[in-house]
Amino acid sequence: MTSCSNYLDIQPVGKVIPNTLEEYRALMTTAYSKDLLDRSVCDMRTKDITVKKDNIDQNNYGDIEKWINNSTSAREFGWLDYYENIYYANAIIDKQDEITEGSEQDINQLVGEAYLMRGYMHFLLVNFYGQPYTKEGAPKTKSIPLKLTLDLEEIPSRNTVEEVYTSILEDIESARNLITKKEWELGYNYRFNTLSVDAFEARVRLYKGEWQLAYDAAERVLKQKATLEDYNNPDAKANLYTSVESITAYERIYEPTSTLDASKATQSFVDMFSEGDLRPIRYFGEKDNEVDYYPIIKTNGSVDYKCSFRVGELYLNSAEAAARLGHLPEARNRLLQLMEKRYNPEKYELKKNEINKMEQEILISEILDERARELAFEGHRWFDLRRTTRPRIEKTLYSGQTIILEQNDERYTLRIPQSAIEANPNLSN
């Protein structure tokens, strides 16, 4: 943590010590501006993406795609960046009573964002390196260390999955009591707002399998912001920061010269989209017939496609939670409201007739498939596979080799990076 500790060194000689609201806001902006690309790398571990046949890309990502945990050559998954962001958040939380030259409301807003940032970083980490909460016995297993203080001498040990989720929800409640900004103007809408709080809670509750609480949180968002992009309009794009669906345009999931360039969509994933679905033309470029894979065009990797929370996800969260509760009319309603904006009118009518006849298990399966289609390349797919069925994955690589990940394979949970273990041996226990 030495790289971020200098910003708040007790000794002022040669250091920048924030005092004012503007200076602490700059500290928070440092956290917001950090690229966290690990979820796009995890897309490579699904059946939807394969790594292109390029020596550099294969060296960086080939072993990751093959679920090899002890690779000595592959790109190492992130660790320090998440904890640096937690450090910045802790600095704001810890020093909140010392912030000067700002109104109480603006200081509270900033501190609330810091709580949400801390909770969100812990959420990402526990879903990389902890077992899925919904897996039997997982809540009591060790995952990642919680870091809730500024103490740089602390050598933390791993907390259980349950302890991490408890802390995340506590941070969400702290943020709820402080954040008052309902919407940021374009260009600043990467910052958390009041809707971000409920959107984040809906996701956390869904991952915990707390269906009623997930449904309630999703519905609180949709009561305030429910407009969807209509893909019958050729210019509509839901995952742009300028989209009417955008709630928080924080994360850039893909980066153009690294993960986006290395990633190609598989035929099996493209086949999940039926005729009349208006998304494929927005998601995939023309097929490379030589290797049967597709370039990704849903995002070009620019900051224009930053997206952490958006309205489309909340429709799906609400639909899934309602379906799992057995509230099928509510589940069908939310799913169809989304589908009406994603299919042409003829196909939508067919889908509506199908969905209105679906019983619970088939409807849940349809909702999960719709999540795969709707939220593609936004960082959800690997996490969704983990939290639901952890299915058997069989995929054919660019090389022609077929590889298999068995259902409930232990490799659905990443190993903590070796560099982190070397820095803190407590992480190996």
Question: What pLDDT does residue 2 have?
Answer: 40
Mean pLDDT of 291-295: 88
Please report whether residue 161 resides in a domain.
no
* Beta carbons of 180 and 199 less than 8 angstroms apart: no
Please report whether residue 169 resides in a domain.
no
Question: What pLDDT does residue 288 have?
Answer: 82
CATH code for the domain in which residue 285 is found: 1.25.40.390
Nearby residues of 306 by Cβ (< 8 Å), 6 or more positions away: 190, 241, 249, 250, 251, 252
Residue whose token pair is 């103007």: 185
The pLDDT tens digits for 315-370 are: 999 999 999 999 999 999 999 999 999 999 999 999 999 999 999 999 999 999 99
Question: What pLDDT does residue 10 have?
Answer: 32
Please report whether residue 377 resides in a domain.
yes
The total of other beta-carbon atoms located within 10 Å of residue 166's CB is 14
Please report whether residue 27 resides in a domain.
no
The pLDDT tens digits for 204-244 are: 999 999 999 999 999 999 999 999 999 999 999 999 999 99
The total number of structural domains that make up the chain:
1
Mean pLDDT, the chain, as a whole number? 94
Q: Does pLDDT of 1 surpass 60?
A: no
Q: Does pLDDT of 29 surpass 90?
A: yes
Please report whether residue 297 resides in a domain.
yes
Mean pLDDT of 96-103: 96
The pLDDT tens digits for 400-414 are: 899 999 999 999 999
Please report whether residue 136 resides in a domain.
no
Please report whether residue 338 resides in a domain.
yes
Percent of the chain with pLDDT over 70: 96
- 311: enclosing H helix or E strand: helix 311-324
Q: Does pLDDT of 3 surpass 70?
A: no
Per-residue confidence at 399, pLDDT binned at 50, 70, 90? Answer: confident
Question: What pLDDT does residue 149 have?
Answer: 94
Buried/exposed 27-53: b ≥16 CB within 10 Å, e otherwise: bbeebbeebbbbbbbbbbbbbbbbbbe
Per-residue confidence at 153, pLDDT binned at 50, 70, 90? Answer: confident
Residue range(s) defining the domain that contains residue 370: 182-390
- Integer Cα distance of 75 and 98 in angstroms: 40
Per-residue confidence at 145, pLDDT binned at 50, 70, 90? Answer: very high
Q: Does pLDDT of 289 surpass 60?
A: yes
- Integer Cα distance of 261 and 279 in angstroms: 21
In this prediction the pTM is 0.95
Mean pLDDT of 126-142: 98
Mean pLDDT of 101-108: 97
231 or 291, which is more confident? 231
Q: DSSP labels for 189-220?
A: TTS--HHHHHHHHHHHHHHHT-HHHHHHHHHH
* C-alpha angle 159-163-165 in degrees, rounded to nearest 5: 120
Mean pLDDT of 64-73: 91
Question: What pLDDT does residue 392 have?
Answer: 98
Please report whether residue 159 resides in a domain.
no
- Integer Cα distance of 345 and 144 in angstroms: 47
Per-residue confidence at 16, pLDDT binned at 50, 70, 90? Answer: low
